[in-house]
């Protein structure tokens, strides 16, 4: 799933950690842990929760980039 790679690459681009993402997801009602996030990015985990993690992660990163990304 290319969305997994997109989220992972955007975290790297913004110098954000998986722990940061886990904390942000928790604030949006999704409780997860490092091993689960790693499995999501590795593509070894699937299902509705994974879909919610990816969708919410993209939303979180969109909001982060609106606020903190340098203006071009």
Domain count, the chain: 1
Indicate if the pLDDT at residue 1 is higher than 60. Answer: no
Dihedral sign, Cα of residue 1, residue 27, residue 22, residue 16: positive
* Residue 42, CA distances (Å) to 4, 7, 10, 66 in order: 8, 12, 15, 27
> Could you report the per-residue pLDDT of 59-71, keeping only the tens digit for each?
999 999 999 876 6
Cα(67)–Cα(26) distance, rounded to whole angstroms? 20
> Could you report the per-residue pLDDT of 22-69, keeping only the tens digit for each?
999 999 999 999 999 999 999 999 999 999 999 999 999 999 999 987
Domain-embedded: residue 9: yes
Q: Is the pTM of this model over 0.85?
A: yes
Give the helix ranges, DSSP H, for 1-47: 2-13, 18-27, 34-42
Cα(40)–Cα(1) distance, rounded to whole angstroms? 10
Domain-embedded: residue 71: no
What residues make up the domain containing 32? 2-66
Domain-embedded: residue 72: no
């Amino acid at each position: 799933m290319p969305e997994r790679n997109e989220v992972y690459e955007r975290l790297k681009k913004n110098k954000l950690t998986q722990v940061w993402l886990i904390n942000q997801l928790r604030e949006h009602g999704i409780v997860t842990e490092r091993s689960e996030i790693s499995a999501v990015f590795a593509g070894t985990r699937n299902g509705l929760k994974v879909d919610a993690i990816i969708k919410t992660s993209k939303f979180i990163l969109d909001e982060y980039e609106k606020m903190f990304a340098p203006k071009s």
